[in-house]
Amino acid sequence: MIKYSRQREAIRKQISNRGDHPTAETLYAELKGDFPNLSFATVYRNLNQLVEQGEIAKINVGGATRFDYDPLPHSHFFCRKCGAVIDMPENDSAMLLAAHEGFSGIIEACTSNFYGICPECAAEAKKRSN
């Protein structure tokens, strides 16, 4: 267990209040006003400690690292236009059941990634075409 830190608690609270998957840079910019002495290295180190403790998850997206408040295995959608990362509502149980049928080992979890254009970008493209 790591020692309590006001900065780590602020980072944990900030990421939990978001519906997206922010980068360390985004969180640093958001917290800098409340913690003028905060360094980017502190934010990054604390995020990695939270990942190691299993409190949050790390997602690598096209060379960028994003952080997810939900550390449990789940699927994501990656928008190729705006770069958004969105949690998918499905729990992957159908894929997990199908995989069990053709595999003699022990499958413990299943996640998948979906790629395309998010609802906001699709709506914007539709507006432009009308």
Residue 24 shares a structural domain with residue 43: yes
End of a domain among 47, 68, 89? 68
Contact 54, 29 (CB under 8 A): no
Confidence (pLDDT) at 1? 59
Residue from 68, 63, 64, 75 nearest 51 by CA: 68
Which residues are within 8 A (CB) of 35 and not within 5 positions of it... i.e. 6 or more apart?
7, 10
Contact 58, 52 (CB under 8 A): no
Residue 54 shares a structural domain with residue 89: no
13, part of any domain: yes
Residue 80 shares a structural domain with residue 51: no
Q: What is the CATH number of the domain that holds 114?
A: 3.30.1490
Asked whether the predicted pLDDT for residue 109 surpasses 80, the reply is no
What is the tally of structural domains in the chain? 2
57, part of any domain: yes
Q: Of 25-29, 73-77, 99-103, 115-119, where does mean pLDDT reach its minimum?
A: 99-103
Confidence (pLDDT) at 98? 80
1, part of any domain: no
**Average pLDDT score over residue span 69-85:** 90
Q: Cα(49)–Cα(36) distance, rounded to whole angstroms?
A: 21
Residue 123 shares a structural domain with residue 106: yes
Contact 129, 122 (CB under 8 A): no
User: What is the span of the domain harbouring residue 113?
Assistant: 76-129
Tens digit of each residue's pLDDT (9 = 90 or more) over 1-55: 567 789 999 999 999 998 889 999 999 999 999 999 999 999 999 999 999 999 9
Length of the chain: 130
Residue 61 shares a structural domain with residue 81: no
Q: Cα(29)–Cα(78) distance, rounded to whole angstroms?
A: 23
Specify the pairing of strand 76-79 against strand 57-61. Answer: unpaired
Residue 89 shares a structural domain with residue 55: no
Residue 93 shares a structural domain with residue 48: no
